[in-house]
């Protein structure tokens, strides 16, 4: 096992300890307080305490969703129904909030999850830590601690330790347990989150509702994007090639009038018209490339991204591992997403090197764009990355950004698709 895998296993082990502590302390406390508060609703006290406690439960669950995504790459959607915007204040508002929270099926699923988390979940998380730390006891016994228990054997696992030989046996057992711990700690961490996912994820009805909302939003984004693209093409044609063609037509009219009485002037205008026609052709080619690059249609996404990288002023390394080609709309969306990401990196990051990795696995087209710039990129409102996220959402794609202050910045895109 190499160092990176050992480091990942040790990290998973200590994360398991953190999860076990949070599960035993946080989940137990929140479950008890929430249940007591709900039982006090008929007395009127629970109406004021329940909303606050249930919001704490939701924060606790959201933190677990975040850890599931960042620690084990298990994504769990948020299932909660939004509060209506006209919820009133005062006592009436408290009653309304309490009612809305209790009517949300996700609330009761959260409470069920707290039960799982404080029992099976905490045991699984703690096991990831114990399998890595427990072997230390066997090594300490072999180092001489067995002498303390010479008259009364100390059981390390199934080994009675009362001599140096049995101390070495304890160390051998510890080494075997350590090997198991290093191998399975990340898997146990994933199992902890996998146990939580059925209850923390949206139920079937809520999942359908979220899907409808997502499809409605992505459809509006697609329509808006298409309209904006058509306006851009119209503007580029009007201000570029069309204007040059009109000017060239006027020059040809002047040439026709001057060809006999002023051949020198006519010859000069012919050269000008030839130059205008070449510039118009160049602009039309650039416009076509902006709609759908010929290299993308002819040679696929990998070569199109490599061609894109060659035109950048920053040294760019492209690594492509694609066993086939995606559908044309997916390739086009991925290409322009990479193009915009690279443009942002060149303009804003201050990087002198960029890496692009394009791969496919588990039904996902994955693209990672990394630069060694100053970091600080965000997907907030008004950001170009936010627009990219919406565009990828049309294909059920996702975009993730890691950009700490000081860099590096990594923009990861995933689009579900099949390759031909």
Local mean pLDDT, 10-residue blocks, the chain (420 residues): 78 90 92 92 87 91 90 85 70 81 88 92 90 79 67 72 75 82 88 90 67 63 60 66 72 75 78 76 65 74 87 88 86 85 84 89 88 77 66 79 82 86
Per DSSP, what are the bridge partners of residue 154? 161
Looking at residue 112, its pLDDT comes to 92
pTM: 0.54
The helix or strand, by DSSP H or E, that contains position 406, with its residue range, turns out to be none
Looking at residue 207, its pLDDT comes to 58
Q: Residue 356 and residue 367: Cα distance in Å, rounded?
A: 7
Looking at residue 288, its pLDDT comes to 61
In terms of phi and psi (left: phi > 0; alpha: psi -120 to 50; beta: otherwise), the region of 376 is left
Name the nearest CA neighbour of 354 among 345, 363, 366.
Answer: 345
């Amino acid at each position: 096992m190499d160092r990176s895998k050992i480091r990942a296993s040790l990290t998973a082990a200590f994360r398991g300890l953190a999860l076990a502590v949070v599960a035993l302390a946080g989940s137990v406390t929140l479950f008890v307080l929430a249940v007591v508060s709900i039982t006090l609703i008929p007395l009127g006290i629970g109406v004021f305490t329940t909303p606050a406690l249930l919001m704490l439960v939701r924060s606790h669950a959201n933190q677990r969703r975040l850890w599931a995504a960042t620690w084990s790459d298990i994504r769990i959607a948020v299932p909660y129904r939004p509060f209506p915007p006209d919820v009133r204040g005062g006592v009436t508002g408290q009653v309304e909030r309490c009612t809305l929270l209790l009517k949300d099926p996700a609330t009761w699923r959260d409470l069920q999850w707290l039960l799982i988390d404080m029992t099976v979940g905490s045991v699984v998380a703690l096991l990831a830590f114990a399998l890595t730390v427990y072997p230390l006891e066997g090594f300490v016994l072999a180092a001489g601690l067995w002498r303390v228990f010479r008259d009364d054997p100390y059981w390390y696992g199934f080994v009675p330790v009362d001599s140096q030989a049995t101390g070495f046996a304890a160390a051998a057992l510890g080494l075997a347990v350590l090997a198991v711990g290093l191998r399975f700690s990340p898997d146990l961490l994933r199992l902890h989150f996998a146990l939580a996912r059925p209850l923390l994820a949206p139920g079937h009805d809520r999942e359908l509702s979220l899907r409808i909302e997502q499809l409605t939003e992505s459809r509006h984004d697609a329509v808006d994007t298409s309209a904006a693209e058509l306006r851009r093409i119209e503007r580029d044609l009007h201000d570029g090639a069309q204007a040059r063609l009109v000017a060239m037509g006027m020059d040809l009219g002047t040439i026709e009038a001057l060809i006999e009485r002023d051949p020198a002037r006519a010859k000069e205008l012919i050269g000008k018209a030839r130059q205008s026609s070449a510039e118009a052709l160049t602009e039309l080619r650039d416009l076509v490339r902006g709609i759908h690059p010929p290299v993308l249609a002819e040679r696929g996404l990998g070569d199109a991204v490599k061609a894109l990288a060659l035109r950048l002023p920053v040294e760019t390394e492209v690594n492509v591992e694609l066993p086939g080609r995606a559908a044309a709309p997916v390739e086009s969306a991925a290409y322009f997403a990479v193009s915009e990401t690279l443009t942002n990196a060149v303009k804003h990051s201050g990087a002198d090197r960029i890496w692009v990795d394009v791969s496919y696995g588990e039904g996902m087209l994955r693209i990672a764009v990394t630069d060694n710039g100053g970091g600080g990129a965000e997907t907030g409102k008004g950001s170009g990355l936010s627009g990219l996220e919406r565009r990828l959402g049309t294909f059920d794609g996702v975009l993730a950004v890691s950009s700490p202050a000081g860099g590096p910045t990594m923009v990861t895109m995933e689009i579900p698709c099949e390759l031909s």
